[in-house]
Amino acid sequence: MPEAWIPVTDIDYSIVPGPNFETVRLMFKATPCSGSNCHFGGRNHLQVDKTADQLYSYMLKLTTLQCGKLIDTAHPAESALVKYLRGPCGGLERMPYFTCVEDGDPACVPEYYIQFIEQWITNGAPR
Ligand code: HEM
116-125, pLDDT tens digit by residue?
A: 999 999 999 9
Is the CB of residue 50 below 6 angstroms from any atom belonging to ligand 1?
no
Length of the chain: 127
Task: Give the pTM.
Answer: 0.95
Given pLDDT bands bounded at 50, 70 and 90, which one contains residue 2? confident
Ligand 1 centroid vs 31 CA: distance in angstroms?
11
Provide CB contacts within 8 A for 7, sequence distance 6+.
1, 30
- Condensed to tens digits (0 to 9), the pLDDT of residues 35-87 reads 677 898 878 999 999 999 999 999 999 999 999 999 999 999 999 999 999 99
Ligand 1 atom closest to residue 66's alpha carbon, by position in its atom list = 15
